[in-house]
Amino acid sequence: MARYLVGTGSNCWNFTDAYNAAKNGDIIEFDKGYTYELPSFSVQVIEKDLHFVGHVEKKAGNSTFHNVLNAYFDVTNGAKVTFENLWFKTSDNRVALSVTNGADVFCTNIYFEEQILNNEKFLLYASNNAKLHLNEVGMKVVNGSTTTVGVFSSELIIENSRILGQLDLEQGSRMMMNSVHLEHYTKNAICATDSRITVKSSTIKGGNTQNNLPLIWLENVVWASESTSMVQPNYINSINLSENVLFSSQNDRITSINTYSSQVYLEQTTITDIILLNEKSFGVFRGEINFLGNNSEKIDLELNDNSAIFADCLVLHRSVEPNCRVSSSSYLQIKNLSYPEGDIADLNYEISDDSKYVLETSEVQIQPKENENNALEELNNLVGLDKVKQEIKKMVRMVDFNKKRIEKGLPPEKQTLHSVFMGNPGTGKTTVARLLGEVLYQNGVLSGDSFRFVEATESDLISSNVGGTAEQTQRLLEKAKGGILFIDEAYTLHKKQGVDHGIEAINTILKYMEDNRDDIMIIFAGYTKEMEQFLQTNPGLKSRVPNTFIFEDYSDDEIVQLGKSFLAKGGYKLENSDYYAQHVKRAYDVSLDKSNGRWIRNLNEKLVKTFAARVNEQDSEDIETIMNVDIDAVFEEDKYKEGVDGQEDAMVTLDNLIGISKVKEQVKQFIDMAEFNKKRAEQGGTVDDTTLHSLFLGNPGTGKTTVARIVGSILYQKGVISQNKFIEVSRSD
């Protein structure tokens, strides 16, 4: 592997010569301060497996890029290329980066900027079975610009990035977004046809209400989102499912959904404005679906044109004329209905003669149970969370202590309830907050005449209008008065740069906490590191929020316990419980996705789908017992398969290297031990406390990098590691 320094210095190459000399696997580094430019009509074609790297400095969360590429790069014909620490600019009417014809591009710590108005070209695009992976990427286009990223018959992965622009997917494309902030107000933020999209832990804002352009427009798309906020305030059509869309949402926060001939599956989702189903659309709502009713000009739910909804529990937060409208031969069935702010009898319905509305029971699931110990029992029965349970016991003991003081005619001790919930995704913060609230309400600690639990995120508190944030925040505080206001991802209220409306929200909350200290409990929740930093931003926060709950990650055994309980709740049994446990533990150990409860829920969902496919294929009568073959099928999906894609046996590759006999012997011993430990773990045996971390020592040119890459491939092929990924860094990185 060679490294070429491109720049203007005496020891530097020019770009063309460096590219021509480079071979697959080589690095082209841009000298610090160097800008590479091409005329607007020129294209820099890349057809080799190369790593382009620049220089960047990070201070106080801000990045200073020292290398600019004002050129059009076209990576094509199967090339595998990495761009790192670079700033792509377009100052004329052209593309910055295209990935075509089976090429694979990985961009990390890259900033893309379009500097002209109404660029007729994409800033980035991928086509013809290409793959574009963006990690820690920033992207900005000027207002009025056309589509920013175009994907055609290709795959787009975006992680840990901030995109200020539009995404367009077509022709059987695939997209995965994780921890992304996407924002675009000129057109749709996402426009997709004939594609598959997965979104997790992200925020999507924008759309153009004035021009009737929804935030998200989908046609013939399979969509799955989780823990994502999709915001286009006061618009009836923020997510438009045009035709033949399968839309799945779990723990999301959505302004509105408007469907045509599509299917909607919601689980524990919050709708701030309205849902409309049209033209034979179908909806299944699992868990509690919260309708906040933030748009005073719209109703909560409407079904038209032979549409149907089957819902577990709808939670409505206002009484309007009507709350629900069902017309044109449509059908609405609700198992449970909740109205925390009043009597269910105050809710209103408009049902046409040819339609039907069925309410199975008016039991209010969100309200406290009849047996006041149920909430506490349910909380104590949650898997894991030992430290959290200990802190809750202290809080409950103080409640009991105050009861005894009151019985003896003594004043109760004042207890400040405001709390911080810190922990990684999927550790149960929202679930625990709701159960804790029920326990406190049942014991008379919360002052409301009914149990009130209001969830909010940054988008619910922040307004882009001057002075609007204080009013918006105040309304939510008043809604939660007498109960709990749960602010998820609270750290997003503090911005390190730009206009910070979050400070206005925080100050409004602090004042309300002071003025109504006995009438509300506020819970700030989020990831541990970010929340610790958030508490340092305002001295008033730390002093007013004395209770800290640390939600630890689940252990392997707890993940298995969670998985079994989820399956049992769904009425499923396991052929061999130990077999399931061994495979789940092994998979979680090597997984890069440590999202706790979400991880095992996703795994179980895949397992149930595999089980259902086998049952249908075999026409089996047993629709309860998940067999070992189902478990094998799920865990074999992502494994290395010999002969697939022409991958050579990495051990053979190692043996074919010239010399280094001692290294070969050491590697084989190392691989044997790693594979032995893997098999021991799979069989439930104990594994010595060993590690894969290694030192490769030797003079230049002795093959350290080559052998390291081969070792990675061997570990992947043997199933010791879960991904065939090799990331190379040097001191400058």
Q: What is the pLDDT of residues 493-530, one digit of tens each?
A: 876 544 567 788 888 998 898 888 778 899 999 888 88
User: Strand, coil or helix: what is 567?
Assistant: helix
Model confidence at 641: pLDDT above 90:
no
d(CA 382, CA 9): 64
Pairing mode, strands 263-267 and 68-70: unpaired
Those residues whose C-beta lies under 8 Å from the C-beta of residue 634, and which sit 6 or more positions away, are 603, 606, 607, 610
Question: Domain extents for the chain?
Answer: 1-114+121-141+148-162, 207-367, 374-551, 568-636, 651-717
Instruction: Kindly report, residue by residue over 477-489, the tens digit of the pLDDT.
Output: 988 888 899 998 8
Q: What is the mean pLDDT of residues 424-451?
A: 84
| Percent of all residues in the chain with a pLDDT value above 90, rounded to a whole number | 38
Report the distance separating Cα 150 and Cα 78, nearest Å.
19
* Single-letter amino acid code for the residue at 358: V
Amino acid making up residue 727: I
Average pLDDT in the chain: 85
Of 169, 301, 273, which Cα lies nearest the Cα of 222? 169
Burial 156-168 (b: 16+ CB within 10 A, else e): bbbbebbbbbbbb
Q: Tell me, rounded to whole angstroms, the distance of Cα 416 from its chain centroid.
A: 33
Pair of tokens at residue 677: 């430990």
Question: What are the backbone angles phi and psi of residue 9, rounded to the nearest 5°?
Answer: -70, 170
Q: Which of 74, 69, 85 is nearest to 36 (CA)?
A: 69
> What pLDDT, in 10s, does the model give residues 303-352?
999 999 999 999 999 999 899 999 999 999 998 888 888 888 888 999 99
Radius of gyration of the chain (CA): 28
pLDDT on residue 702: 83
Q: Residue 411: what residue type?
A: P
- Give the residue among 201, 133, 61 at the shortest CA–CA distance from 489: 201
Between the alpha carbon of residue 106 and those of residues 84, 132, 645, the distances in Å are 8, 6, 20
CA neighbor of 190 nearest in space, from 210, 169, 211, 209: 169
Whether residue 191 contacts residue 168, with contact meaning beta carbons closer than 8 Å, is answered with yes
Q: For 412-444, give one letter per residue: b (16+ CB within 10 A) or e.
A: eeeeebbbbbbbbbbbbbbebbbbbbbbbbbbe
Q: What pLDDT was estimated at residue 117?
A: 53
Q: Which candidate, 572, 507, 578, places its Cα nearest to that of 538?
A: 507
pTM listed for this prediction: 0.56
User: 105 pairs with which residues across the strands?
Assistant: 81, 132
Mean per-residue pLDDT for 84-108? 90
**Using CA atoms, how far apart are residues 286 and 314, in angstroms rounded to an integer?**
9
* pLDDT value at 141 more than 60: yes
157, 161, 165, 166: CA torsion to nearest 10 = 20
Beta strands in 374-483 (DSSP E): 419-423, 453-456
CATH of 374-551, one of 3.40.50.300, 1.20.120.550, 2.40.110.10, 3.40.47.10: 3.40.50.300
Residue 404 parent element (H or E): helix 386-407
Task: Give residue 617's pLDDT.
Answer: 83
CA angle 481, 316, 437 (to 5 degrees): 40
Q: 4-56, pLDDT tens digit by residue?
A: 999 998 899 999 999 999 999 999 999 999 999 998 888 999 999 999 999 99
Single out the residue of 422, 446, 510 nearest to residue 473, CA to CA: 510
Q: What letter represents residue 331's amino acid?
A: Y
CA atoms within 13 A on the CB side of 553: 13
Work out the number of other CB atoms within 10 angstroms of the CB of residue 11: 7
Residue 535: per-residue pLDDT: 85
Arithmetic mean of pLDDT, 205-225: 93
| Closest of 642, 617, 614 to residue 628, by C-alpha | 614
CA 179 to chain centre: 5
Helix%, strand%, coil% for the chain, nearest 5: 30, 30, 40
Under DSSP, the state recorded for 14 is: -
Per mean pLDDT, which range of 443-452, 540-549, 583-592 is the poorest?
583-592
Show the CA angle centred on residue 581, arms to residues 580 and 585, nearest 5°: 120
CB 132 within 8 A of CB 108: no
The predicted structure's pLDDT at residue 143: 54
Nearest to 673 by CA among 689, 659, 662, 654: 689
Q: Which residues of 456-475 are buried (b: 16+ CB within 10 A; e: fewer)?
A: bbbbbbbbeeeeebbebbbe
Neighbours of 312 (CB within 10 A): 18
Measured CA to CA, the distance from residue 717 to residue 628 in angstroms comes to: 23
> Cα separation of 34 and 6, whole Å?
8
Residue 152 and residue 117: Cα distance in Å, rounded? 24
Residues 39/29, Cβ–Cβ less than 8 Å: no
At position 543, the amino acid (one-letter code) is: S
428/421 Cα distance (integer angstroms): 10
Phi-psi region of 220 (alpha: psi -120 to 50; beta: other; left: phi over 0): left
User: pLDDT at position 116, please?
Assistant: 62
**CA angle, 704 then 710 then 715, to 5°:** 125
Contacts 24+ apart (CB under 8 A), 408-416: 415/445, 416/517, 416/544, 416/546, 416/547
Q: Is the pLDDT of residue 372 over 50?
A: no
Burial class (CB within 10 angstroms; exposed 0-12, middle 13-18, buried 19+) of 57: exposed
CB 112 within 8 A of CB 124: yes
- What's the whole-number mean pLDDT along residues 264-289? 94
> Per-residue DSSP letters for 179-225?
EEEEEESSS-SEEEEEEEEEEES-EEEE-BGGGTB-SEEEEEEEEEE
Q: What is d(CA 218, CA 246) in angstroms, rounded to the nearest whole number?
A: 10
What pLDDT sits at residue 210?
85
Q: What is the pLDDT of residues 642-684, one digit of tens each?
A: 554 556 778 888 888 888 888 888 878 777 777 777 666 666 5
Amino acid identity for residue 723 in this structure: Q
Residue 358: burial class (beta carbons within 10 Å; 0-12, 13-18, 19+)? exposed
Q: Tell me phi and psi for residue 12, to 5 degrees.
A: -110, 155
Q: With 80 as the cut, is the pLDDT of residue 240 above it?
A: yes
DSSP per residue, 515-561: HTTTT-EEEEEE-HHHHHHHHHS-HHHHHH--EEEEEPPPPHHHHHH
